[in-house]
Amino acid sequence: FCAAVVEAVGGRVAAVKPQSAFFERHGSAGIAVLERLLLDLREAGTLSLLDVKRGDVGSTMGAYAQAYLADGAPLAADAITVTPYLGTGALAPALDTAAETGRGVFVLVLTSNPEAAAVQHAGAGQAGAPSVAGSVLQDVARLNAGAGPVGDVGMVVGATVGRAPEQLGLDLAGANGIVLAPGVGAQGATPQDVATTFAGLPRRVLVPVSRGILSAGPAPERLRDAAARLNSELVAQLWT
């Protein structure tokens, strides 16, 4: 199935975002498939964004960085997702390794699941204090300051969050990074939602869609057509 996906969209999309958990649950056999998928994407000239949401401290975070961001690592991807809730500073091993090897890191800021608001909106409304999401975004902006055309550190902001960035006072454009905007399709967001939430950022938004495209398979031509249709809808909304 992974080979069919690569055949269908390789070279035709900005990136492919494998969700590591669905490979890990099959043990070593699943990890072997993930290794092959990452290799096949590389050979197809297609960027890989591995969704692993890793976050830890010290040498453990360093080990994760070596696993996913080091040159020659079996699971090396072009970018990964990371979680900042042990402190954004704890992500330094991943950020440093990504910078050294020309890879990217996407930090969770406002995620697409409704449960996240209890943590990520916390602190909003307190005089002079940012929300948790706002604090993380400030760290991303600091890390990307002076980089051009955009920095190496991206942010995950769900397409399902509606007006939350505005309500929380988040300056997504000022963070100078690429926005990964999950939630279109099975989670309920639409291309119009993407255009509304990320108005003014059409060149900086990556919209991953998994089930909404994969359900059209497994034939490569049907997967390709589904991806092309969705891409056309997104372009029409973001550029009008």
Give the catalytic positions in this structure. Answer: 53
Integer-rounded Cα radius of gyration of the chain: 17
Strand order in the sheet with 205-206: 15-16, 47-54, 79-82, 104-110, 153-157, 179-180, 205-206
* Beta-bridge partners for 180: 156, 206
Alpha helices in the chain (DSSP H): 2-9, 20-24, 27-43, 58-69, 92-101, 117-120, 132-144, 164-167, 191-197, 211-214, 220-238
* Beta-bridge partners for 189: 184
Joined together, the tokens standing for residue 147 give 């980089």
What is d(CA 129, CA 131) in angstroms, rounded to the nearest whole number? Answer: 7
